[in-house]
Amino acid sequence: MILLANCEAEPGFFHSVTALKAGTGAVDALVEGIGHVEADPAVRSVGYGGWPNMIGEMECDAGVMDGTTREVGAVGAVPRTLPVARLAREVMRRLPHVMLTGAGARRFADESGFISDEMLHPDSARVWWDKLEGLLDPAQRAAFPDLPLAPFSKAITDPERVRDTTVFLGRDSGGDMAAVTSTSGWAWKYPGRLGDSPIPGAGFYADSRFGAAACTHTGEMTMRSATAHAVVHAMQLGLDLDQAVEAAARDLLTLETGFLGEVVIHAIDATGRHRVVNLLGRAPVSYWIWTPEMAEPERRLSEQFQS
Ligand code: GLY
């Protein structure tokens, strides 16, 4: 068994460890833990602690992948819904589809018994409007949000201050691997924007034969390089975990436009090894790791990737 998650995962990590120890399958153990992260308003990037889009509405993204069947469930830009990773799990379980977005995802949430919840944290609402208000002239303020938003997009969505995601990767006692993600996405994002968290192959991927990977920070970059799949596919082609992560990181570094700083690749392999690297980041970021040899989960620091 193994469980790896990024630093935001703290409120749920122990719950996933407990579930794995009790014999719960990887997908459900990870969905269980991530639900606790989404419910904790102290985690300022996911669920109740997350950030609204440019018009002040919460739109969350999540993805779930079963590494044994390679089935995926994903939801994107879902309004008024928590726990959103569990909704992605329901897409995988109950529909012949991989991904639902927006109003369709909310409709499915209603059908699946999820309450409708505005879920906008008062501090997120305050920070959102304080920053936006400064960019609008009086006429625009009066018209808001019925005005073209694209002119404000670059000014307000600063990729250097993107808030993050939570990602969980795990392997259960039966050898099944899973990847689960959840996020509210970039603060002040254009309505309908999807990051990498609901995109299989970009923000997450799992194949129980080889390994699993997930990314945090600027999803616009990992979508362009299909980074999570790149890691796992490299292992399928015979590279070991270290070589696979390094190959995917080098590929990201060939992107000459966009904001790559702070992207972090998290990966595990089918033998129970793990690797976490940050690209061009100013400082290492912490992550959580647990294997059965450890008395307690450990918080460790990522490694700065050197090309
Ligand atoms: N990595 C999360 C996002 O870009 O939304």
CB of 53 within 6 A of ligand 1: the answer is: no
Preceding amide of 145 cis, omega within 30: yes
Instruction: Give bridge partners of residue 60 from the DSSP assignment.
Output: 78
Domain range enclosing 256: 2-304
What is the spatial order of strands in the sheet that 211-216 belongs to? 204-207, 211-216, 264-269, 274-278, 303-304
Contact 62, 45 (CB under 8 A): no
Q: Per-residue pLDDT for 47 more than 70?
A: yes
**Is 194 assigned a ligand-binding role in the annotation?**
yes
Contact 122, 151 (CB under 8 A): no
Q: What is the CATH number of the domain that holds 85?
A: 3.60.20.30
Mean pLDDT for all residues in the chain: 95
Confidence class of residue 66 from pLDDT cuts 50, 70 and 90?
very high
> Considering its fold, how many domains does the chain have in total?
1
How far, in Å, from the CA of 219 to the mean position of ligand 1? 4
Residue 118 CB neighbour total at 10 angstroms: 9
pTM over cut 0.85? yes
CB of 262 within 6 A of ligand 1: the answer is: no
Candidates 92, 94, 85; CA nearest to 68 is 92
101 is catalytic: no
Q: Per-residue pLDDT for 146 more than 80?
A: yes
Amino acid making up residue 79: P
CB of 183 within 6 A of ligand 1: the answer is: yes
List of E strands, 7-139? 59-66, 71-79, 99-101
CB of 185 within 6 A of ligand 1: the answer is: yes
| H or E element, residue 241 | helix 241-253
Q: b/e per residue, 196-224, with b = 16+ CB within 10 A?
A: bbbbbbbbbbbbbebbbbbbbbbbbbbbb
Q: What percentage of residues in the chain have a pLDDT greater than 70?
A: 98
Preceding amide of 83 cis, omega within 30: yes
Confidence class of residue 261 from pLDDT cuts 50, 70 and 90?
confident
Q: How open is the CA angle 194-223-48, to the nearest 5 degrees?
A: 35
Q: What percentage of residues in the chain have a pLDDT greater than 90?
A: 89
Ligand 1 pocket mutation, candidates 59, 197, 285, criterion most atoms within 8 A of CB? 197
Confidence class of residue 139 from pLDDT cuts 50, 70 and 90?
very high
Catalytic residue among 81, 157, 165, 181: 165
